[in-house]
Structure 1
C-alpha cells in the first residue's frame, strides 16, 4: 500500500517511506525482501528518532500470525517478532511461565524492543535483548537464517541488538522461568542527600527499583520498589531516610493514574506489575520526546550531581526523568554491554527545538561519565562519539556490510553510524 503521511507514536517524526508493506506470512516477507531495493522494519512506532524510517518501503510484521510456543524442557518461548510484550506476557502467564523482566511499556513490539536495546530495571536484570537465545531472520537475499548460541563468531550477540541492519527478524526465542508475583510500593520525595548517600542500597533493595526526579529540590519525587514475593522483603527504610509513603496510586508523568499498574504493595503476576503502565491504557502523554543515556553504575552518583544544576533548563520541558539500574549484557550494541549500568531517562514535552537544546546540555554534562545513548531515542551524538561509546560498533558495521552488501536494509540513520 502507498504510504500516506504517517508519524511515530509520539508524533515527533513524520515518516518519509514511500509505502507501508504488511505481509501476512514469512514466505511473503521473503518475497518482499528479495524484490524491494530498500526497506526498513517498522515495529510499534515507539522510537523517537529515524531508526525505523527510510526513503524506500517500511515493512510491518503486525499482519503475521501470532506465535507463542513454549518449550518447557529448554525453558524457551518462540514468539512472532511483531507481537507486543503485552501479548507475550499474557500468553506466558496463562501457561505458568514468565520473562525475567519487561520494559515500562508493555505495548512495544518484542523484536523492536530487542533491536534497540530497550531495558527494564534491576541490578540483576540486563536488557531485554539478553533473554534472546535464538532468532529467525530474513536476509537481504530473501533467504531465511537461524541464529543461536551455536552460530559461530559471536553472531547471536551481534544480532541481539541489531538496529534492523542485519535483516528482518520474523521470530524470536526468549529464555523463560516459572511465573512469579511482584508487589509494587511507592514512596514520595526522597531527599537528595538520601538519594546520593544511599543510592546503591536503594536501587538494589528489590527486584526492580525506579527513581523519578525533576532534578529539583524534591529529590526523587517518586521511588517505585517492585518486590518479588518469592525473595526477601526490602530492607531500606525509605521513611527513615525522609520519604513518605504514597497514599494512593501515582503516575510518574502527568496522566490519569488509571493507566498505571497496581501499587500499594498488592501482589500480582509479574506480567501486570513489572511494567509501569497497563497494556489496556494509552501508556503516557504521547505528545512527547524521549532521550536516555546509560552510564557505568560507578558514575551514577556523580552524574546525578552533575545534572542537578540543569533543573532550571528542565523545568519548562521535563515531564519525568527516571533513573534505573541495568545489569551487564553480552550483546555487542546493548547500552549496558559488558558493564553494570544505570540508565537516566528523560521524557520531554514535544517541543523539538527546545528539546534539542536541552539534549545538547545533557550530553555535554554527561560526557565525562561515558554515556551510551539509547538507540531508539533522541541524541545529538556524532557517529565518531557513538563508535567511542560502543566498542563493537565497528565490528557490527563490518558484519552488516557482509550480510547486506547492497544496503537493502540501510537507511539514513544506519548510513550515518555504520559508515
Structure 2
C-alpha cells in the first residue's frame, strides 16, 4: 500500500504539539528555587510516574472504547491543565496534585498514541512502516523540543512561570490537529463489545507470554534508570557550573542528538532487529557508568546517551509488541506495558531519592546506574527477553489464545 504523505505530515505536526521543551530544562530548578530539596523533587517525579501507573489501564481502556482521537484529545487538555496549574501553585500538596493531573494526561497518550498510529497506518498506509514513521515523528518532536528548550531557558530568567504557560498553550493547539485525521476503528466487528473483563483477561494472557513478559521486565530496568537520570541531571549540570540560561542550550542539544538517534530507529530495527538493539543496552551503559564513576564530567555525554538510546529503543520495543497484539485491546495492553514502566521509574525514585540527596547527583548516578546494569545483564542471560516469532493474541467470549 502506498504511503499517504498527507496523513504522515499531519501526524508529524501533531507530534510537534507534544513537545516538552519549554519547561524541560528548568522543571527541577523551579522546585529547587521554591526552596525544596532533591528529596522532594524525587517525591514529585515519583508522583508523576505512579499517577501514570494509576491512569494507564483506564486511559488505555477508554482509548479502545471511545476512540483514539477523543482519548488523545483528553490527554492533551489534561496535560495543559497540569502545566498551567504548575505556574500558580506554591505548596507541596499543590505541586503533587499538578503532577498527578499532568501525568494523567500523559497516560492518555502513552498506550493509545501507539495503537492509534499503528491502526491509522494500517488503514491509510502500511503498518510495516510503524517503526520508521514513529521514529521520524519522534525526531520532529525532539527538534521542536530543542527549539523550545532554548526559549524556555531564556524565558525562565524573565518570569519563572512562562515556560509552563507556553507548554500548556502548545498542548491545547494539538487538539484541532487531531480532528483532521480520519476516524480509526478496530477491525474486529465485535470491538464495541470489548468489556472490562475482557481487558483484564487480555492483560493476564499477555503477561503469561514469555516473549512479552520478560521483554517488559528488561526494558523496565532501563526506564527506571532513565527516570533516575532525569531526576538528577539538572542539579548535576548545575554542580558542574552550567547556569540556568545555559541549561536551555544544553537541553536543546539533548533534543537534537536524540532527534538524530530517533530518525535511525527504523534503520536499527531493520539491520539488528529488536534483539540486537536491546541487547546493546547493557554493554553500552556499563562502559558509560564506569567512566562516570571515575570522571564525573563523563556524566554529561551519558545524559546524551540515555536520551538517544530511549529514542531508538521505544519505537523498536513497540514494533515488537504491536506485532504480537491483535487490534482489539491493543491500546489496553500497551497501556499495561506503560504502567509497568511507570511503576519501575516511580518506585526507584521513591526508594533512592533520599540516597541521591545524601550522595549528591554526581556520586549517586554512576552507582545506581551500575547496579541496574548488572541486574539487566543477569535478566538478559537467564530469561532471553527478546524472542523471534510470536503470533498475535485474541480475546473472545470463549477465551484467549496466545502463541510464542
In which range does the TM-score fall when normalised by the shorter chain? under 0.3
Write 1 or 2 for the structure with the bigger share of helix.
Answer: 2
Write 1 or 2 for the structure with the bigger share of strand.
Answer: 1
What TM-score, normalized to structure 1? Answer: 0.24
Query: Relative contact order (C-alpha < 8 Å, sep 6+): which is higher?
Result: 2
